């Protein structure tokens, strides 16, 4: 897979393939930018089956985010980047936190989004997701990087329990290597904590596919249903036995995404 890189507005991008664009907004990660090839592959995984027909672009948050960051500001930056790169709306895929950005983008900057796919993302965080992110934010504010990474790993892979927490703790120092990285992650957590699609200054008009796991710990089935109700031209697919991460690896979900975008 040949990966190209560049800058779109203020946002770094990485891309593969050729054709009309599919822009994928990454989920929450400890780092900003799109430096590592492995990271790019993981971001583009839900749409990799389109690589021979479409140009797939991975976008992540930029470094140096302001401390008073809001989801509206993140959406504005993404809108400016898309307008700078493309002369027409693009198909946008948002995964988890990237889905929160994508919702605000589509609601408040409808000229930038042609079709929208939301994966493991709902109109706002559920109680478990909010509590988990609050716990991670508290550890970051206290300068406990390893504990913050352990909390995140345990929330993302709950079935692994102490093993996931231990792996996160071991990786925490490397993943959050600088004060700037910690500040960027904390700013994003606080911005998402305040996000609510119902409070956006506009309504999503793009045709939308919502792909959800019935066992998602961050968002409940009721929240996914509420999200679909808030987006008039939307279709909700819930995969009952899948969780927050595993739904994006489900072959049935991937086939739906490919069919919707194809």
DSSP state of 61: P
Q: Is residue 106 located within the same domain as residue 30?
A: yes
Average pLDDT over residues 99-126: 98
pLDDT at 223 over 90: yes
The two structure tokens encoding residue 173: 């120092």
Which domain, by its residues, includes 139?
A: 127-190
Q: Is residue 176 located within the same domain as residue 208?
A: no
Last residue of a domain, one of 140, 174, 190: 190
Strands 113-119 and 55-59: unpaired
Place of tokens 């000229």: 111
Distance CA 179, CA 166 (A): 22
Q: Is residue 216 located within the same domain as residue 88?
A: yes
Q: Is residue 38 located within the same domain as residue 146?
A: no
Q: How many helices (H) and strands (E) does the chain have?
A: 9, 8
Residue 210 vs residues 52, 221, 235: alpha-carbon distances, Å = 24, 12, 6
Q: Is residue 218 located within the same domain as residue 133?
A: no
Q: Is residue 33 located within the same domain as residue 99?
A: yes
Return mean pLDDT, the chain: 89
Please tell me the total count of domains within the chain. Answer: 2
Residue 157 vs residues 113, 162, 168, 221: alpha-carbon distances, Å = 32, 10, 10, 19
Average pLDDT over residues 79-84: 96
Reported pTM: 0.92
Q: Is residue 175 located within the same domain as residue 138?
A: yes
Q: Is residue 162 located within the same domain as residue 57?
A: no
Would you state the pLDDT for residue 153? 61
| Confidence band, pLDDT 50/70/90 cuts, at residue 170 | very low
Percent of the residues in the chain that have a pLDDT greater than 90, as a whole number:
71
| Confidence band, pLDDT 50/70/90 cuts, at residue 164 | very low
Q: Is residue 219 located within the same domain as residue 90?
A: yes
Q: Is residue 120 located within the same domain as residue 175?
A: no
| Confidence band, pLDDT 50/70/90 cuts, at residue 109 | very high
Would you state the pLDDT for residue 158? 57
Would you state the pLDDT for residue 55? 97
| Confidence band, pLDDT 50/70/90 cuts, at residue 140 | confident
Last residue of a domain, one of 190, 214, 239: 190
CATH code at 241? 3.40.50.1820
Would you state the pLDDT for residue 155? 61
Between helices 179-194 and 127-141, what is the axis angle to 10°?
Answer: 150
| Confidence band, pLDDT 50/70/90 cuts, at residue 1 | low
For 31-73, the pLDDT digits (tens) are 788 888 998 999 999 999 999 999 999 999 998 999 999 999 9
């Amino acid at each position: 897979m040949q990966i190209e890189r560049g800058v779109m507005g203020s946002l770094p991008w990485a891309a593969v393939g050729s054709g009309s664009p599919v822009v994928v907004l990454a989920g929450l990660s400890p780092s900003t930018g799109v430096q590592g090839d492995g990271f790019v592959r993981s971001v583009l995984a839900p749409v990799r089956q389109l690589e021979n027909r479409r140009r797939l672009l991975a976008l992540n948050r930029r470094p140096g985010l302001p401390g008073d960051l809001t989801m509206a500001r993140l959406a504005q930056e993404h809108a400016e980047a898309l307008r700078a790169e493309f002369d027409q709306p693009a198909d946008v895929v948002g995964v988890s936190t990237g889905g929160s950005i994508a919702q605000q983008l589509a609601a408040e900057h409808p000229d930038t989004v042609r079709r929208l796919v939301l994966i493991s993302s709902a109109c706002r965080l559920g109680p478990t997701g909010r509590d988990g992110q609050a716990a991670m934010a508290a550890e970051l504010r206290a300068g406990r990087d390893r504990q913050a990474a352990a909390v995140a790993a345990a929330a993302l892979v709950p079935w692994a329990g102490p093993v996931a927490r231990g792996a996160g703790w071991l990786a925490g120092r490397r993943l959050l290597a600088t004060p700037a990285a910690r500040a960027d992650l904390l700013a994003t957590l606080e911005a998402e904590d305040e996000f609510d699609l119902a409070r956006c200054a506009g309504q999503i008009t793009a045709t939308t596919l919502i792909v959800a796991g019935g066992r998602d710990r961050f968002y409940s089935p009721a929240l996914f249903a509420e999200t679909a109700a808030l987006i008039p031209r939307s279709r909700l697919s819930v995969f009952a036995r899948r969780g927050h991460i595993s739904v994006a690896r489900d072959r049935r979900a991937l086939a739906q995404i490919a069919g919707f975008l194809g």
